[in-house]
Amino acid sequence: MLQVRQNALADRFQQQRAAFAAQPFPEIGVRKDRLKRLLALTERHEGDISAAVDADFGGRSTHETRLAELFVVRAGIHHALSHLRGWMRERRVATAMPFLPGRNRLMPQPLGVVGIVSPWNYPFQLAVAPMTAALAAGNRVLVKPSELTPAFSALLARLASEHFAPDELSVITGDAEVGKEFVSMPFDHLLFTGSTAVGRQVAIAAAANLTPVTLELGGKSPAILDPSCDLDQAASSIAYGKLLNAGQTCIAPDYLLVPKGQAGILAAKLAAAIGRLYPSLRDNPDYTAIISDRHLERLRDMIAEARDAGADITEINPAGETLGATSRKMFPTLVRNADPTLRLMREEIFGPVLPIVEYATVDEAIGHVNRSDRPLALYWFGRDPGNRRRILQETVAGGVTINDCMLHLVQENQPFGGVGASGMGAYHGEWGFRTFSKEKPVFLQSRLSAGGLLRPPYGKTFERVFSLLRRIT
């Protein structure tokens, strides 16, 4: 069965490569048609998509799927349709004086066949948003969704086949072995969204073909509360940002840095904010479950290790409920006084567990962030412009939201991407178009060029012209 799937993958790849060779530079009308079909896929099947994701999670908020996935994708497609003509236009580039009256241009050219490996946590958004950029840039696209969302992956494959020819856009389903084969294909560009550990393996596999990669990874994204911040407003934003999708978000706040003496106060405010968002948990359709038993067990093991080590553990259970034995839902959990050697403090949590760490000075908070791998996101809450400037200038992160959580992700006029261990490259909006294009430099020589005066046989003319060039450059 695996060999059959591998053969199907290779056949589909060759089919797309041949189609690209026959149409290496699709006109704007062709690209807009593909984007409109992608928009139709999004708009006509909202209910089916939400139901499939809910089934895979064993309880996923339909409202969160509509807002964080379908709405975000729809906005991205509309943005691409509105700006595509400008993105495709050749750009003038300044020409240095010695080469005038020649002219420089940059021509954005499609790369060919793009591979996209999407994760389970936002299975629609993180598959279709990169598709949008790749199709806008004029490429053919193969997508490998996660095996952890089998209902959604099967649905996406069916919807893609209904709206696109297989040599335009195709979805390859299968297990982790199929995924390994997928990332080993000689794509013209490969985008992977997932964990840092798997991202390293993807980069190694792609390197064998010199395939350029965009890696959207994760890490421990901090939220720093400045002494000048409004604790109530910060608690409200953090509670929502952390518990969206039950914390299974690559840019969710992973831990909090708060001024010394305020951890207990903030914990109480977070508990109150969580209670307002989710008055009950067990049967609340707004509160999402953990994706699998394995991930749930990992989170429980982290908490147990912290408890055994003497950390203060607070489960937030507003309605005093008992979760069923078969439920994969998990109580939001706050952790204080956790030793930095614990797994909870070293690994990305990816769940509704939130450590709170106190700091004495801004220098200490900055040092704490900088001792770890560079995070995908960083959040700062406060009013002090000097401290805000220091945080922005003295820490490195993939993106930052000030006085809220996660909103930098949905800005189509800004790039989204990681740095260091949290990823490389970026997409969204024009940055996605550029990621999946080759900006080809073109020099147009003029008939009036004097370049021939610098060619052999060298002599006095060469020396005079060369002396002039040295003076004007």
Question: Where does residue 430 rank: exposed (0-12), middle (13-18), buried (19+ CB within 10 A)?
Answer: buried
Average pLDDT, integer, range 417-428: 97
Average pLDDT, integer, range 289-303: 97
* Residue in this structure with the two tokens 């139709």, named with its chain if needed: 40
pLDDT of residue 6: 60
Predicted confidence band of residue 449 (pLDDT cuts 50, 70, 90): confident
Distance CA(188)–CA(179), nearest Å, equals 17
Average pLDDT, integer, range 440-452: 91
Q: Is the pLDDT of residue 145 over 70?
A: yes
Q: Where are the domains of the chain?
A: 2-217+423-439, 222-417
pLDDT of residue 472: 85
Distance CA(46)–CA(83), nearest Å, equals 25
Q: Is the pLDDT of residue 4 over 50?
A: no
The amino acid that residue 416 corresponds to is F
Instruction: Give me 414's structure tokens.
Output: 């800004």
Average pLDDT, integer, range 401-421: 97
Q: Is the pLDDT of residue 27 over 50?
A: yes
The mean predicted confidence, pLDDT, of the chain is: 96
Q: How many CB atoms lie within 10 A of CB 269?
A: 19
pLDDT of residue 257: 98
Catalytic annotation, pick one of 64, 216, 348, 358: 216
Catalytic annotation, pick one of 69, 250, 405, 412: 250
How would DSSP label each residue in 257-325? EEETT-HHHHHHHHHHHHHHH-S--TT-TTSPPPS-HHHHHHHHHHHHHHHHTT-EEEE--TT-----T
CA atoms within 13 A on the CB side of 17: 12
* Residue in this structure with the two tokens 């405010």, named with its chain if needed: 269
User: Do the Cβ atoms of 114 and 140 come closer than 8 Å?
Assistant: yes
Distance CA(204)–CA(91), nearest Å, equals 34
The amino acid that residue 290 corresponds to is I
Asked if residue 101 has a cis previous peptide bond (ω within 30° of 0), the answer is yes
Instruction: Give me 420's structure tokens.
Output: 């260091």
Predicted confidence band of residue 1 (pLDDT cuts 50, 70, 90): very low
User: Do the Cβ atoms of 205 and 215 come closer than 8 Å?
Assistant: no
Secondary-structure class of domain 222-417 per CATH: alpha beta
| N-to-C CA span, the chain | 64
Residue 32 DSSP code? H
Q: Is 216 a catalytic residue?
A: yes
Which is more confident, 447 or 159? 159
Distance CA(109)–CA(86), nearest Å, equals 14
Question: What pLDDT, in 10s, does the model give residues 360-369?
Answer: 999 999 999 9
Q: Is 229 a catalytic residue?
A: no
Length of the chain: 473
User: Do the Cβ atoms of 75 and 176 come closer than 8 Å?
Assistant: no
Predicted confidence band of residue 206 (pLDDT cuts 50, 70, 90): very high
Q: Interior CA angle at 289 toward 65 and 286, to 5°?
A: 50
User: Do the Cβ atoms of 115 and 189 come closer than 8 Å?
Assistant: yes
Question: What pLDDT, in 10s, does the model give residues 63-93?
Answer: 999 999 999 999 999 999 999 999 999 999 9
Average pLDDT, integer, range 161-186: 97
CATH of domain 2-217+423-439: 3.40.605.10
Question: What pLDDT, in 10s, does the model give residues 335-362?
Answer: 999 999 999 999 999 999 999 999 999 9
Predicted confidence band of residue 462 (pLDDT cuts 50, 70, 90): very high
CA atoms within 13 A on the CB side of 417: 20
